[in-house]
Structure 1
């Protein structure tokens, strides 16, 4: 009850600030907090996408104002881009509009900045591919995934002790984005080839210990690779990963993702059920999974 009261006060304050055309960065920060609050809700909420649309509007209205190109301005832009790209992957309602906000020429540099500040996440080049796939752009997407060198990307980081874990992290994202791209772009999924990609990705995931800093960055690829998996051993690995993620993050989204994975596997193993893309299943559930 206390939380709901404070949230109501925050929404009221936000409305008043917007009505006054308040340009303070705290307004954008508040919207970002609403997004994270939705991700943490135990009962699950779907209003994160409305807050993302609001964040887009606020950023657009502030981009050309004095002082916006400060640390906070850059941080909000980078965070919005990441949340928007990943938010669109498993949602039926939300469509990413990142390129409309920043433009195709500006986005690569922005994603590079985001990678530098959020270095336990997806490599910028692969995030760009994911953005293109969300938009239905097929040109060179799959080829770029295959050409991306995870080991070279990892070796560029200034902490040499992190190279091995960063390689595993990048390989997991590379495999997951490849699988996701095949589903979204409507390509014929060759079972043998996909099984190899999934198995390789999961083998990299299992090399990242739950107490390692990079572990918190594997939520999205673990779900995608798990959803595509048909191997019982691989599924067991994914379940263990989600159990550890649940203890680490303690969010509704992680618990719900675990339930949905088990539904996907059950449907895939039941011959009496008409085959359906796991991605279509997730979107048709209408739960608007927000895994970042």
Structure 2
């Protein structure tokens, strides 16, 4: 939980301002958005890890449901803000994948697929295809699963996700 709290408290704007001089303020804003995307993705990822290893009785309410939906919405919106800038957008395979793991509705899944298609157009990177395939299989299992044995499956899928960075 300490790592999640540290991630929540990370100041993306301050970090970006230290990396880029103030004379390039539009680049600093985009770098701050990039950091924000990774921050949110790290929170989602950390929460998923916590959920997978915590017993239901020990899982705080704020690691489930509504908070994750809000985080996923924020993450998708942040990624979409960077989608028109090739230099920054092509850095977002992993955060896009992590957002995809939390998608519960067809609309959010389609948003992720659209982002992945855009990433493919910019990068022609096989990791984008791999991310898409992993998500398609995961979503299919999630739609047909009775939710038994999910913790093991979640860790396995998240392990594959690290290959996408």
TM-score class normalised by the smaller sequence: 0.7 to 0.9
Larger Rg over CA atoms: 1
Q: Which residue of 1 aligns with 2:8?
A: 146
Residue 230 of structure 1 aligns to a residue in which SS? coil
Name the CA shift for 1:231/1:203 in 2 (closer, same or farther; >3 Å): farther
Distance change >3 Å, CA 209–CA 283, structure 1 → 2: closer
CA contact under 8 A between 1:154 and 1:164: conserved in structure 2? Answer: yes
Counterpart of 2:81 in 1: which secondary structure? Answer: coil
RCO comparison, higher one (Cα < 8 Å, 6+): 2
Moved more, 199-208 or 244-253: 244-253
TM norm structure 1: 0.47
1:263 matches 2:137: yes
Instruction: Write out per-residue CA displacement over residues 202-237 of structure 1, whole angstroms, 9 at most, x where no aligned residue.
Output: 111111124431111111111111111213322222
Matched residues in 2 for 1:267 and 1:252: separation?
A: 23
Q: Give the 5 Å matches for 1:92-171.
A: 140-156=2-18, 157-158=20-21, 159-171=24-36
1:237 maps onto 2:111 in alignment: yes
2:64 is equivalent to residue 178 of structure 1: no
Work out the CA distance in 2 between the residues paired with 1:231 and 1:175: 19
Contact 1:216 1:245 in 2 (8 A): yes
4+ aligned runs moved over 3 Å, structure 1? 271-275
Which position in structure 1 is the counterpart of 2:164?
291
Residues 30 and 88 in structure 2, CA contact (< 8 A), matched pair in contact too: yes
> Could you give the per-residue CA deviations for residues 160-193 of structure 1, whole angstroms, max 9, x where no partner exists?
1212222221111111101111222334341111
**Structure with a larger share of its residues in helix:** 2
CA contact (8 A) 2:72 2:103 kept: yes
Kindly tell me: are residues 198 and 258 of structure 1, through their superposed partners in 2, closer, same or farther at Cα, counting changes over 3 Å?
Answer: same
- Number of residue equivalences: 152
Q: How far off is 1:283 after superposition?
A: 6.0
Query: Is there any run of 5+ residues in structure 2 with no aligned partner, and where?
Result: none
User: Tell me, which stretches of 5 or more residues in structure 1 are unaligned?
Assistant: 1-137
Label 1:249 to 1:276 Cα distance change in 2 as closer, same or farther (>3 A).
same
Which deviates further from its counterpart, 187-196 or 274-283? 274-283
Is the Cα contact below 8 Å between 2:44 and 2:98 reproduced in 1?
A: yes
RMSD: 2.4
